[in-house]
Amino acid sequence: MTPGILAHPQVAVVTGASRGLGATIAGFLVGQGFEVVLNARGRSPLESLARTLHRGTRPVHCIAGDVSDSEVRNEIKMAVESIGRLDLLVNNASELGPSPLPALSEYPAGDLQRVFEVNVAAPLALIQALLPSLRTYHGRIVNISSDAAIGGYPGWGGYGASKAALDLLSLTLAHELRESGVSVVSVDPGDMRTSMHQAAYAGEDISDRPLPEVTIPFWAWLLHQEPSRISGHRFQAQSDRWELPA
């Protein structure tokens, strides 16, 4: 067996997977022997990534569409059911909101509703749809958060509030699902050089930010942790230390 490859085939769903952090996580999981179901809004970049990743023996499945759409979530569910198992769900798809970022005191109500729909309601709805498979295989749920959830940064109020809600959702689900063997964590990946980050800083140079690949050591660590031990925790993927207190 190749070092680092899991002994038994596992299946993962990754949303927002066509670029940036989602594509990095998807590539890492494929390298670890996972069969992956990838979701993103844009069909063309998603299928391009799938062709790049489909270099091993495991299939790569593409479900193009907005994860806030119930029909898209149902397609993801059907793909999982056709495979026959689910071990990992990564809720990475996110909505930044208006760019340039508006002050919270002037935030358009419709835009705020959209941010919460994608960043809070959709991840929960997808978890609900996939929970039977996750329960069967004692799966893991990883919800991608942000330092904006706790920073109170000017301009980041709408996005940050949605990620703070996602953090609380993650912690609550961890408590509610503990007896069923499903683990839930939230992860702040840190500042990265991505298109979303560029949109948040329109016209500014963000070349000093690291690429999403900087988080790969964290994902390698997380994947090999005992799920019940880490469930309910919030991690920072670019922190100096990830270990939990004994």
pLDDT: which is higher, 47 or 1: 47
Q: How confident is the model at residue 56 (pLDDT cuts 50, 70, 90)?
A: low
Instruction: Say if pTM beats, i.e. exceeds, 0.85.
Output: yes
**Among 147, 224, 222, which Cα is nearest to 233's?**
222
Active-site residue, selected from the candidate residues 107, 153, 159, 201:
159
For 134, left (φ over 0), alpha (ψ -120 to 50), or beta?
A: alpha
Q: What is the pLDDT of residues 160-212, one digit of tens each?
A: 999 999 999 999 999 999 999 999 999 999 887 777 767 667 777 767 878 89
Show the tokens assigned to 241.
Answer: 């230390």
Task: State residue 159's pLDDT score.
Answer: 96
Position 96 pLDDT exceeds 70: yes
Q: How confident is the model at residue 101 (pLDDT cuts 50, 70, 90)?
A: very high
CA 237 to chain centre: 12
Task: State residue 203's pLDDT score.
Answer: 72
Task: State residue 82's pLDDT score.
Answer: 96
Q: How confident is the model at residue 7 (pLDDT cuts 50, 70, 90)?
A: very low
Percent of the chain with pLDDT over 90: 80
Task: State residue 205's pLDDT score.
Answer: 73
Which range among 25-34, 90-99, 202-211, 224-233 shows the weakest confidence by mean pLDDT?
A: 202-211
Q: Where are the domains of the chain?
A: 11-233
Q: Find where tokens 């004994």 sit.
A: 246
Topology classification of domain 11-233: Rossmann fold (3.40.50)
Instruction: Tell me if residue 159 is catalytic.
Output: yes
- Mean pLDDT, all residues of the chain: 91
